[in-house]
Structure 1
Amino acid sequence: MQIRKGYALLMLFFSAFTLQCDLFTTRDPEPPAQNNSTFIQPVSADIVLENLKNSVTENNADNYFRCFSDGTTSRTYFFLPSVEISAQYSSVFSSWTPEQERMYFQNLGQPSNGTPYLTFSNSQTLAVSSDSVVYSMDYTFFYPHRRSGVTQLVHGNMQLFLGANTQRLWSVYRWQDNKTVSDSTWSYWKAVFSGS
């Protein structure tokens, strides 16, 4: 008798619990997670520049990394920092690779307030061949990082050497950074946020 009474109470409790929780009703599906990526297959040199700007705006380190030659299917990447930064941080840039590009970019952290942006101006094409292009352009790069004492805006001139790999996909294989005004250059950020 006691067992039946206990069993009946357990069934009553389970029935009430089941009715309260709506275990067998469907729920509305959640919207898909936003993939903050507008990486375009780099079938031309100009697309690499767009991908570079988009990766900054979207704070996407993986897409930023994909803009650089990895050396496996095309030329080995080389970064030449601005003269004053090269003198001050020579050990940081002695063996700079695309992986260091990714690490520096990740070390910028999440933007604190505002949207990062990268703009190019005074763009010139210095050389063109079937599998390479050399651009010279001024840049302005704003990134609202959280590190105190470090500017959130850099300016300079970049010479970008872009090449097509064996699959005809383009990437940056050489980058020369130059100071144009008294402000800090992109090289400064790479040195400060490199983690070295």
Structure 2
Amino acid sequence: MLSGCDLFTTRDPEKPDENRANFQPPKEPSIVIENLKNSFNDKNTQNYIACFVDTLFVNKSFTFIPSSEAVSTYAFLAQDWGLDDERRYFNSVIAKVPKDFPITLTFSDESYSSLSGDTLVYSANYFLNIPHNSSEPKNYSGNLQFNMIRDNRSDWSIYYWKDTRSSSLPSWSEMKGIFY
């Protein structure tokens, strides 16, 4: 009666949409920074967005303050930029980079300062290399400030980001405008 039916056989498991192998639970602020760097290297949007505040677990929303140079060229950056915009520009960046070429994000002159027990400020200089094949710049540099918070799961995330251009290279904000 059931001879042609495979109702009771197991199937191979499906692979998840994106590999989270290099994502670590952000139980320390420094892990958020490592996850951010790894999300670029791995070109992993899910891991990138996971570095930012989730309003399901803390009463804070995400705020981005772009560099003034970026705002003068890309005014939309200063108009309620949110996590959907972060996702959109990040997907655009990774779509333009060949599969076997890593995106490199490095930080220097890093500092952490506590605002309270559950919030802190991280500041650093950054350098970002995007090895794409278009005519747009490949290198971006500047200074950033991340305000981070520990949520009700005891995970840290970024809820405030201020970007400043600090060299002749375009800033991260300008990269967001270019690749949006």
Q: CA deviation at 1:126?
A: 3.4
State the partner residue of 1:106. Answer: 91
| Residue in structure 1 matched with residue 7 of structure 2 by the alignment | none
Q: Distance in 1 between matches of 2:92 and 2:79?
A: 19
**Taking every aligned residue pair, what percent have the same amino acid on both sides?**
33
TM-score normalised per structure 1: 0.77
Q: TM-score normalised to the size of structure 2? A: 0.83
Which of these two proteins has the greater Rg computed from alpha carbons? Answer: 1
Per the alignment, residue 138 of structure 1 pairs with 125
Shift of 1:106: 0.3
Secondary structure, counterpart of 1:167 in structure 2: coil
Residue 83 of structure 1 pairs with residue 68 of structure 2: yes
* Contact 2:20–2:47 (Cα < 8 Å) also in 1: no
Q: Distance in 2 between matches of 1:156 and 1:39?
A: 25
Q: Which residue of 1 aligns with 2:36?
A: 52
Q: Which amino acid aligns with 2:70?
A: I
Please say if 1:158 is aligned against 2:144: yes
CA distance in 2, matches of 1:54, 1:170: 16
- Matched position secondary structure for 1:92: helix
Q: Which amino acid aligns with 1:98?
A: L
CA deviation map 1:1-53 (0-9, x unaligned):
xxxxxxxxxxxxxxxxxxxxxxxxxxxx9xx8994631001111111000000
RMSD: 2.0
Structure 1 residue 129: deviation in Å? 2.2
Aligned: 1:41 with 2:25:
yes
Q: Unpaired segments of 5 or more residues in structure 1?
A: 1-28
Gaps of 5+ in 2: 1-11
| SS at structure 2 position matched to 1:91 | helix
Q: Which residue does 1:172 correspond to in 2?
A: 158
Following superposition, which runs of at least 4 residues in structure 1 exceed 4 angstroms of deviation? none
Q: For 2:49, which of 49, 62, 65 is the aligned residue?
A: 65
1: CA distance between counterparts of 2:115 and 2:24? 22
